[in-house]
Amino acid sequence: MTSEEPEDGSGVIHRTTGGKPRRSFQSFLIGQPLQTADAPHQTIGKAIGLAVFASDALSSTAYATQEILFILAAAGTVAFGYVFPISIAIVALMAMVSISYEQTIHAYPDGGGSYIVSRDNLGEMPAQIAGASLLTDYILTVAVSISSGVAQLTSAFPGLYAFRVEVAVALVFFIMLLNLRGVKESGIIFAGPVYFFVTMMVFTVLVGLVRVVSGTLGQVVDPPAFEIGAALVPITGFLLLHAFSSGTAALTGIEAISNGITAFKEPRSRNAGITLVWMSVILGVLFLGISFLTGQIHAIPSEHETVISQLARTVYNGRNLFYLATISATTIILILAANTSFADFPRLSALMGKDGFLPRQFAFRGSRLVFSNGIAVLAVMASLLIILFQASVNALIPLYAIGVFMSFSLSQAGMARRWWKIGHLAEGVEVKERGSVLRYDSRWRVKMLINGFGAVLTTVVVLVFARTKFFDGAWLVLVIIPLIVLMLSAIRRHYLHLADRLSLNNYNETPPVTRHRVIMLMSSVHRGSLAALNYARNLSEDVTVLHVSVDPDETERMRERWETWGNNVRLVILESPYRLMFQPVLQYIEDILTVRQPNELITVVVPYFVPEHAAANLLHMQTASTLRKLLSHTKNIVITEVPYQVD
């Protein structure tokens, strides 16, 4: 071990660790850890992709029509005749948004959706707004979909109504566990229920339409009581816009595929685009069919029995096997709709973490190659909302969709800007941006007009939302999103300040050299780590720097910087296929101890930086303290922490 030398004479040694993670209760729950090299094998095809990313959008057909009815009910049952025309307008908007995101998928094959489009074309502040809007919407999606699924369940089994909050929270954590197992495995689990729902809803709509044509459908038997307010309001444009804004909940989830392109098999943009088209067609057909049949049977909006329940028992003449199958399928899809957010929230938070808008921990993949921290945070936040609003869909809906439509507007405005930039390129010229490559397109004007028109439409919807739902609770979202943007900006400033203080620009310190055997950990080359290296070389001429490689790109950047700043010190790169941070280091130290010379002292130097504000410690890995605890009982080892104060 002491004679270990680099193969190419560069001072850099690559070493693959042979250790594997130990079995634990965590591995029992979510499965054995996967190697980083397994990532390409965890991608999914179109059929599974539809189950993973379309469940949110498809599930909205179970409550979007009902939410329109809740608003129109203020004018009495006579206003229910507007449900179908409003649904047609919503489907037309859906088609425009789908076309826009289909273009986004091909323009940004690495995913990221509204956030990446806004970042590359509109700037950091619009990107933060898009990111904050989507993060808020994903949390609300979980709360609304789970609450709606529980509402379907209590419609069939009223005795569960008193336990709806407990059931909803338990279901959130059940979905969380499934997602922690990985995208591919959770997708396979979800595929059956999603296709069962699509089959049952298509069958229900077809049977209902056949009975309409034959004149045998009839009306709801024993409908729930129609709760009339203190006084009926007239049917006005404001009321219809209010109902329209509630119904646009059917569009939530359309952007999900554009955020998760990297989960698809190659050619991933093509597969993701086809999946988006499938989803949009199924969604539009089911939404129109349900809205039409709801008017035919004179369904009544109620918290005690959903419109889907009324439709199913009318179409199937009672609570028979087909009714129970429809309600079961609807309940399951509403619960699994949360999976779309569990697939996208972690990916978006990882992208924002890499860009420095969220803590870096969000960008770290867990043992099953998913962004575990984002999954856990989403589950906690959604559960808090469910508890706060007592799992009431009607109370949560006013908060819903405004965020996603803000992201729609920014995405389409960003795409319009992108086509404008492309139109001003010379043919054959390529311009590489952070998220895509710009190439001249002769149809740039048409595409710019499509996205520009879409941006105008979705912006109008945002304004309608803000006006019609402001006092229903939308004001809360309009306050929360700016607060989240302020938080993102503060985190970003911290990371930029830190990068500036650790920068190697104009940094020319020459470290003194003394004798001592030292092993030093280094995650990256910056001012703080080089200051620790100075200290290590003051201790000994025999210094070995260890770098645990969990990201090949980051390791390559480390190696390039080391050639400039390493001062010929030996660098040992510990390849960690399972992304373990500490086990490779402990194994290396154990190997060193086996060949340790008599009276030889081994010092492990662990650098860390101290932020100006103590609260900022939450944004960084506590590597030094963790390693000190792990090595504290090891004999013949001295652990030295070298702080670097960042002011």
- CA dist 577 and 337 (Å) reads 33
Residue 545: what pLDDT? 93
Q: What is the rounded average pLDDT for all residues in the chain?
A: 84
Rounded average pLDDT over 92-98: 90
pLDDT digits (tens, 9 = 90+) for 544-563: 999 988 888 888 888 888 98
Rounded average pLDDT over 220-242: 79
Q: Which residues on neighbouring strands pair with residue 547, listed in sequence order?
A: 573
Write the CATH number of the domain with boundaries 12-18+508-645.
3.40.50
- CA dist 248 and 104 (Å) reads 21
Check pLDDT > 60 for residue 510: no
- Which regions of the chain carry the CATH code 1.20.1740.10? 43-492
- Could you report how far apart the first and last alpha carbons of the chain are, in Å? 40
Check pLDDT > 60 for residue 150: yes
- CA dist 521 and 287 (Å) reads 57
Cβ–Cβ < 8 Å for 156, 327: yes
Whether the CA torsion 463, 467, 469, 473 is positive or negative: it is: positive
Cβ–Cβ < 8 Å for 640, 604: yes
Residue 9: what pLDDT? 59
- CA dist 129 and 480 (Å) reads 11
Tell me the backbone φ, ψ of residue 624, rounded to 5 degrees: -60, -50
DSSP state of 471: I
Rounded average pLDDT over 24-50: 68
Cβ–Cβ < 8 Å for 385, 477: no
- CA dist 435 and 433 (Å) reads 6
* Cis amide linkage into residue 267, ω under 30° from 0: yes
For 496, half-sphere exposure in the C-beta direction (CA atoms, 13 angstrom radius) is 8
**Cα→Cα distances 613→483, 511, 555, 647, Å:** 20, 29, 29, 9
Q: Are strands 602-610 and 517-521 parallel, antiparallel or unpaired?
A: parallel
Check pLDDT > 60 for residue 7: no
Rounded average pLDDT over 583-590: 88
Residue 39: what pLDDT? 54
Residue 514: what pLDDT? 43
Rounded average pLDDT over 149-173: 86
- CA dist 35 and 265 (Å) reads 18
pLDDT digits (tens, 9 = 90+) for 353-396: 989 999 988 988 876 667 889 999 999 999 999 999 888 877 78
Please give the structure tokens belonging to residue 122.
Answer: 């509109």
Cβ–Cβ < 8 Å for 83, 68: yes
Please give the structure tokens belonging to residue 87.
Answer: 């649904």
Check pLDDT > 50 for residue 195: yes
Rounded average pLDDT over 42-51: 83
Residue 526: what pLDDT? 87
Check pLDDT > 50 for residue 513: no
pTM comes to: 0.75
Percent of the chain exceeding pLDDT 70 equals 91
Check pLDDT > 50 for residue 511: no
Residue 369: what pLDDT? 66
Residue 122: what pLDDT? 93
- CA dist 326 and 347 (Å) reads 32
Q: Determine the distance from the C-alpha atom of residue 35 to the mean position of all C-alpha atoms in its chain, rounded to a whole number.
A: 22
Residue 5: what pLDDT? 60
Residue 121: what pLDDT? 93
- Which regions of the chain carry the CATH code 3.40.50? 12-18+508-645
Residue 512: what pLDDT? 45
Rounded average pLDDT over 150-179: 86
Check pLDDT > 90 for residue 88: yes
Q: How confident is the model at residue 12 (pLDDT cuts 50, 70, 90)?
A: confident
Residue 396: what pLDDT? 81
Most confidently predicted of 321-325, 344-348, 392-396, 524-528: 321-325
Please give the structure tokens belonging to residue 307.
Answer: 């419109």
Residue 376: what pLDDT? 92
Cβ–Cβ < 8 Å for 250, 287: yes
Q: How confident is the model at residue 335 (pLDDT cuts 50, 70, 90)?
A: confident
Please give the structure tokens belonging to residue 48.
Answer: 């599974």
Rounded average pLDDT over 140-151: 85
Please give the structure tokens belonging to residue 121.
Answer: 């074309």
Find, among 206, 202, 217, 224, the residue nearest to 315 by Cα: 217
Write the CATH number of the domain with boundaries 43-492.
1.20.1740.10
Lowest mean pLDDT among 10-24, 279-293, 377-391: 10-24
Percent of the chain exceeding pLDDT 90 equals 28
